[in-house]
Structure 1
Amino acid sequence: VPARALAAMAAQEPDSLAALNAVIRASEPLVPGATQAVLGEGPIGAGIAFVGEQPGDQEDLQGRPFVGPAGQLLSRALREAGIDRDRAYLTNAVKHFKFEARGKRRIHQKPTAGEVAHYRWWLERELAFVAPRLVVALGATALLALTGRQVPITRARGPATFEGKPYAGLVTVHPSYLLRLPDTARPEAYAAFVADLRQAAALVAEPALGAAG
């Protein structure tokens, strides 16, 4: 029962990111089929943390976040925006891959609001241990995980305040959105995405960032 499992996890009160990750690794996926939990990656104290939706097929197989096609696009955009991926923290709102099998292919399925809520406990503690100054929500699922509210990205895009959180926020699209666009629309949308990331880099460079939480 997910609620009981969640209560058991909360009772453990891990006192470090490593201890939290041990709990995640030992936990059953909320939906069956995932190979492994995919943990966040990056240094404690990273200036910027990026939160995506959930691991994809390649992430599930490799056990690392943002290594598939969307992750490769994110890496390229980060370089263009002047952000060192190795110095940022990357994670997902949901830690296990949810998919539908079609032949030999595993087709990504969007997590439900209930599944996102199940993983919020982990995400909140994870970000508390990392203590970034700015958290970038990549897409609507990440925004739901960070705020508990479903808001269209078109309305929320840009700098954001995540109520009660000690870090500043910025909302943008998930890189997988760009991959789904027609070729004619992709260059403009990609340029807007890079502009958002440049804004994130500029925000985290401001001395007063996150002072008012």
Structure 2
Amino acid sequence: MLKSLFQSGGRGPGPKRWTSMVTKAWSPPGGPDVARSAVQRVESGAPLAGFRTSGAGIQPGVEPQDINELDKLRAAAAGCTRCPLYAPATQTVFGEGPADAWLVLVGEQPGDREDRAGEPFVGPAGRILDEALEAAGIAREKTYLTNAVKHFKFETRGKRRIHQKPNASEIRACRPWLDAELRILRPNVLATLGATAAQALLGPSFRVGKQRGQVMDWGDGLTLVPTVHPSSIVRIPDREDRDAAFRALVADLEVARAQAPRGRA
């Protein structure tokens, strides 16, 4: 039913009836809210970007590994529908920074403010990161900021959208975008921020608490330094504990800076 409606361009029953019909007939991994959001996008005229319709039904579009330019990769990611997270999110939040960045910082996923702004690390965690980068002697404008997952995963509670940790299938679905970013950028150093980003690249057995601040060889001449996500510092209520955690983050970033080519940091 959903297939035939998409192939017909979503024309037929009125918006409310059409939404109700498809939501009941289609049960995507994200549940009825995801189905309803996707249906409403089509009904409003917004494309299900990243897919094309043909006689054979919905087919995947250009794959990240086929793209060799950052701007084209960003444009393709804007229409990503590789997992259900795209439907309730406002937009894809792609990486941002210079194409010749020596350092790539990888977080978990965009937050509420990032989802609305379309830019990574612009909320409270981003401000902490800015301060930590400055304290570590790293110019943010010379770094590239991105996330392991490019859509905001959340749970609605009243008027608030509460962050939810992405699951393994969502991280795997988004991995090709991150791999393509790193392939195109070819940075010298990679810093993972938090457990999700580190485990996405190093495997589920990785533990930030035990291995943070270590210099690791990630292959192809790329050095990896894991640390905590700055949002973990935002959540610490005690001032002294928060200051200590901030200093530890700075120390890890200083380790990353020490790996930079001369004159690049």
Contact 2:153 / 2:163 at 8 angstroms: preserved in 1? yes
Q: 5 Å matches for 1:49-88?
A: 49-88=104-143
Counterpart pick for 1:105 among 155, 160, 163: 160
Question: Which residue of structure 2 lines up, in the alignment, with residue 42 of structure 1?
Answer: 97
Counterpart pick for 1:95 among 124, 133, 150: 150
Amino acid at match of 1:144: Q
Q: In the superposition, relative to structure 1, how do residues 25 and 203 fare at CA in structure 2: closer, same or farther (>3 Å)?
A: same
Deviation at 1:9, TM superposition (A): 4.0
Q: Which moved more, 1:150-159 or 1:98-107?
A: 150-159
Superposed CA RMSD in Å reads: 2.3
CA distance in 2 between counterparts of 1:103 and 1:62 reads 21
CA distance in 2 between counterparts of 1:67 and 1:193 reads 18
Q: 5 Å matches for 1:187-198?
A: 187-198=243-254
Q: 5 Å matches for 1:1-213?
A: 8-10=61-63, 13-28=66-81, 30-31=84-85, 32-183=87-238, 184-205=240-261
Which structure has the larger Rg over C-alpha atoms? 2
Length-normalised TM-score, structure 2: 0.72
What's the secondary structure of 1:185's corresponding residue?
A: helix
CA distance in 2 between counterparts of 1:83 and 1:164 reads 23
Q: How many positions carry a matched residue from both structures?
A: 206
Task: Structure 1: state its 5+ residue gaps.
Answer: 208-213
The percentage of aligned residue pairs carrying the same residue is: 47
CA distance in 2 between counterparts of 1:79 and 1:197 reads 10
Asked which structure has the greater RCO (Cα within 8 Å, sep 6+), the reply is 1
Length-normalised TM-score, structure 1: 0.89
